[in-house]
Amino acid sequence: MPELKLLIDQGNTRLKWVMASNGEVDPASSGRGNIEDFRRAFPPATPVLQAVILSSVAGNDKIEAVRDFCRERWNLDISQSESKTEQGGVRSAYSEPGALGVDRWLAIIGAVKRYGKPLVIWDLGTASTLDAVDQNGQHLGGFIYPGPATMLNSLGRDTKLQVPENLEASARSAVGAEYPGVSPGISTAACISRGVLAAQLGALNQFQRNVSARMVARPRLIVTGGAADRILPLVDLEHIHDPWLVFRGMLVE
């Protein structure tokens, strides 16, 4: 019988979950939604689990709602992930390791476990983050900056500019065959979307230049996060897209 674990990534507004069988994430079992969606996804006939692992940035009341359901459904208490000084062959750069966001830490150790060292991890979400791990397993620190949608929403909220709705379509049309890089827009909406895209890529380029100089080998670029599909058409660097890094990190001991 396979060893089944339920992995849960809990944000402030929604949950994402996936099953792991014998230490491997099963993408076909993934789901997302609010706490009610989560409960409906696991009726009484759900297979027996060996463990439930939770990564959460939510408040205690939301964590307790998940904990109570898991106790009721499987008679299991959750194991809550946390950022550590050292884990999975990675040493944190933070003097206070607990201050590094747990989802960011899990993505780092999950990437190292899956792909080795050295690495750059680029997580494109509400916030975009960049982190590097050298060939010795030393975390070199990172960047945190507004993600693509956050940049667009900020402009739409704080200005009277017409903000584009479809950043992914803009990304596909932003690269021309004749000239390198993101092409300038020729309408206000296009100028905004191209500026957002260029800002995301510019941060990556600056980060890569800095950390690559500290490594003996070229770091592999691993891309994750909900906004990755919108940006990846513009990335001309060799990379691996892996949307499961946080969950992979939950399985690292």
Distance CA 15, CA 8 (A): 7
Query: Is residue 141 left, alpha or beta, with left meaning phi > 0 and alpha meaning psi from -120 to 50?
Result: left
Distance CA 125, CA 9 (A): 14
Residue 69: name the closest of 34, 101, 106 by CA: 34
Which stretch of DSSP H or E encloses residue 140? strand 139-146
- The answer to whether 20 and 4 have CB atoms below 8 angstroms apart is yes
37 catalytic? Reply is no
Which stretch of DSSP H or E encloses residue 144? strand 139-146
- Give phi and psi for 117, each to the nearest 5: -135, 150
Distance CA 238, CA 212 (A): 14
Residue 247: name the closest of 1, 39, 5 by CA: 5
Q: Which of 9, 37, 68, 103 does the annotation list as catalytic?
A: 103
**Which 8-state DSSP code applies to residue 122?**
E
The three-state secondary structure class of 20 is strand
Which stretch of DSSP H or E encloses residue 240? strand 239-241
Give catalytic residue positions.
103
